[in-house]
Chain A
Amino acid sequence: MALNCSNNSRFLSGFGVRVFPQPGKLEFDFARLIMFLRWLEATILDFGDEMHKVYMWIWSSGDLGLRLLWHILHLILSTWYFIIGLMGSVESFLISSGLFKRYRDLDISKVQYLAVAIDSDEALQTLKVLELLRWLEAIGLRKVCLYDTAGVLKKSKEALTLLLKNERMSSETASDPLVEEKCLSLEVISFSDGKQAVAKAADVLLKKHYLSSNTEKPKLTESDMTDALGAIGYREPDPDLMLIYGPARCHMGFPAWRIRYTEILHMGPLKSMKIGALIKAIHRYTMVHQNYGT
Chain B
Amino acid sequence: MGSSIIKSSCGTGGAYEELPEGLEKELMPKHVAVIMDGNRRWAKSRGLPVQLGHIAGRRAMKQLTRNCKKFGVQVLTVFAFSTENWIRPKEEVNFLMNLFEEVIRSDMEELIQNDVRVSVVGNVGGLRPSLQSLISSSSERSKDNKGMDMVTALNYSGRHDITEATKQIARKVKDGVLGSVEDIDETLIEKHLQTNVIEESSYRNPDLLIRTSGELRLSNFMLWQSAYTELIFVDKLFPDFNEGDLVEALTLFQKRQRRYGGHKY
Residues of A whose CB lies within 8 Å of any CB of B are 1-4, 6-7, 42, 45-46, 120, 149, 191, 194-196, 198-199, 202-203, 205-207, 209-211, 217-218, 220-222, 224-225, 247-254, 256-257, 259-266, 288, 290, 292-294
Contact = CB atoms under 8 A, between A and B. Distances in A.
A210 B170 contact: yes
A261 B219 CA distance: 5
Contacts of B88: 293-294
A261 B170 contact: no
A203 B181 contact: yes
Contacts of A254: 227
B220 A260 contact: yes
Nearest to B262: A248
B181 A249 contact: no
Contacts of A149: 265
9 contacts: A6-B248, A120-B265, A191-B265, A199-B184, A202-B166, A221-B163, A250-B228, A264-B216, A264-B231
Contacts of B98: none
A256 B195 CA distance: 15
Given A3-B252, A198-B162, A293-B88, A248 B167 contact: no
Contact of A251 (B83, B227, B260): B227
A249 B230 contact: yes
Contacts of A217: 167, 171
Contact of A206 (B162, B181, B235, B249): B181
Interface in B178-208: 181-182, 184-186, 188-190
Interface string B232-244: 1111100000000
B65 to A, nearest CB: 20
B233 A3 contact: yes
Contacts of A210: 170, 173-174
Given A198-B186, A260-B223, A263-B216, A220 B163 contact: yes
Interface residues of B, number: 60
A264 B218 contact: yes
A2 B213 CA distance: 11
A224 B163 contact: yes
Most A CB within 10 A of own CB, among B167, B181, B258: B167
Given A2-B235, A3-B234, A252 B167 contact: no
Contacts of B234: 2-4
A20 to B, nearest CB: 24
B217 interface: yes
Contacts of B186: 195-196, 198-199
Given A248-B260, A293-B88, A253 B265 contact: yes
A284 to B, nearest CB: 8
Interface string B145-181: 0000000000001111011001101110110000001
B166 A257 contact: no
Nearest to A220: B167
Contacts of A261: 217, 219-220
Contact of A293 (B87, B189, B258): B87
Given A248-B260, A256-B227, A3 B255 contact: no
A148 to B, nearest CB: 9
A3 B245 contact: yes
Contacts of A194: 227
Given A262-B217, A292-B84, A7 B158 contact: no
Nearest to A221: B163
B195 to A, nearest CB: 13
B226 interface: yes
Nearest to B263: A248
A256 B220 contact: no
B67 interface: no
A199 B170 CA distance: 12
Nearest to A194: B227
A206 B173 contact: yes
Contacts of A290: 217
Nearest to B86: A293
Interface string B102-130: 00000000000000000000000000000
Contacts of A221: 163
B252 to A, nearest CB: 7
A220 B171 CA distance: 11
Contacts of B136: none
Given A247-B263, A252-B227, A211 B181 contact: yes
Nearest to A10: B235
B46 interface: no
Contact of B163 (A7, A222, A250): A222
A195 B86 CA distance: 28
Contacts of A263: 216-217
A172 B182 CA distance: 53
Nearest to A148: B265
Contacts of A250: 226-231, 265
Contacts of A3: 232-236, 245, 248-249, 252
Most A CB within 10 A of own CB, among B157, B235, B251: B235
Contact of B231 (A207, A249, A293): A249
